[in-house]
Amino acid sequence: MPITSPQFAPLSQLAADLKSGRTTSRALVEAALERIADRAGQGSTVFLQVDAEHVRAADDAHDALRRAGTVLSPLAGIPVSIKDLFDIAGQVTRAGSKVLENAAPVKADAVTVARLCRTGAVIVGRTNMSEFAFSGLGFNPHYGTPRSPWHADVPGEARIAGGSSLGAAASVADGMAAVALGTDTGGSIRIPAALCGLTGFKPTASRIPKQGPLSKTLDSFRPIGVSVACCALVDRILAGRDPGVPATRPLDGVCFGVLTNYVTDGVEASVANAVAAAINHLAAGALVEDVRFAPLDRLPEINRYPLVAIEAYAWLAS
């Protein structure tokens, strides 16, 4: 994918640069704020709220701690964006909607936000999203629609960033944050990560305490980053575990199943070729087998009244 935006380096490189003195937290955050404020960019569409004064005070504090020999975690002093679905103490959680624009500011951080802050992440701001997270396309008629970096500088070639964590992905793709906190119910992290050339995954839904869910059954909270290792590090922090990246394991003996029905229906040739190339890389060490999962063929029938819609209605109605 031709990415034209100056993204941040992976978290491991940023942590190493901070440790060696090659950069400072203030320098990293100023780079993020400069990208957000760039009138030629899309910061005003990607972010619904940025408190630059608070952000600068936080990164100065981390630089002072580092000079004193204290480093809270590999994420300390690094700019992170937060999807507008999460509570941040003293701020309004709009969930990408005008309906909640005048709601009272919340009194406490969501568990996920609190865990990021305890490990030293610098929250640069709240990112745009599909209204109430109810769309995988990534449109927002109220606050605008961020773009993918795909051919972003080519007139007439603009592409959507994907939803519902559209601002989260765009913030990382455009170098406005090193990593982003988003949510995934039916693809809301994986879709924008894919459309913006980033990494995102959906883990076990109950792995992290939830707040303000779209679907209590299917919601999952996770990061979007520039690498798998970035997501692995933040995943451990969000799960309340010691920050660090688990050791890689060899592919020998690992078996991967590749779905051949439903999810491949109507796929474009360029996408099919990219998937095939990725599978070929896996096949160099792992066992890869084609799999047909018959229940998927009944999904349109089963999903006539989707669980997400039912649970979302119950939440929003309350």
Which residue in the list 25, 135, 148, 188 is annotated as catalytic? 188
Which residue in the list 97, 148, 164, 171 is annotated as catalytic? 164
Q: Assign 160 a pLDDT band (cuts: 50, 70, 90).
A: very high
Q: Write down the pLDDT at residue 148.
A: 94
Active site residue 202: no
pTM for the predicted model, two decimal places? 0.91
Which tens digits make up the pLDDT trace of 201-215?
Answer: 888 877 777 665 678
Which residue in the list 83, 130, 148, 215 is annotated as catalytic? 83
Average pLDDT over residues 110-124: 96
Average pLDDT over residues 288-314: 87
Q: Write down the pLDDT at residue 3.
A: 45
> Which domains are present in the chain?
11-238 (3.90.1300.10), 255-317 (no CATH)
Question: Is residue 227 predicted with pLDDT exceeding 80?
Answer: yes
SS3 readout for the chain:
CCECCCCCCCHHHHHHHHHHCCCCHHHHHHHHHHHHHCCCCCHHHHEEECCHHHHHHHHHHHHHHHHCCCCCCCCCCCEEEEECCCCCCCCCCCCCCCCCCCCCCCCCCCHHHHHHHHCCCEEEEEECCCHHHCCCCCCCCCCCCCECCECCCCCCCCCECCCCCHHHHHHHHCCCCCEEEEEECCCCCHHHHHHCCCEECCCCHHHCCCCCCCCCCCCEEEEEECCHHHHHHHHHHHCCCCCCCCCCCCCCCCEEEEECCCCCCCCCHHHHHHHHHHHHHHHCCCEEEEECCHHHHHHHHHCCCCHHHHHHHHHHHC
Active site residue 227: no
Which tens digits make up the pLDDT trace of 89-108?
Answer: 999 999 999 999 999 999 99
Which range, of 61-65, 67-71, 78-82, 134-138, averages the lowest pLDDT? 134-138
How far is the C-alpha of 184 from the C-alpha of 200, rounded, in Å?
A: 10
Active site residue 73: no
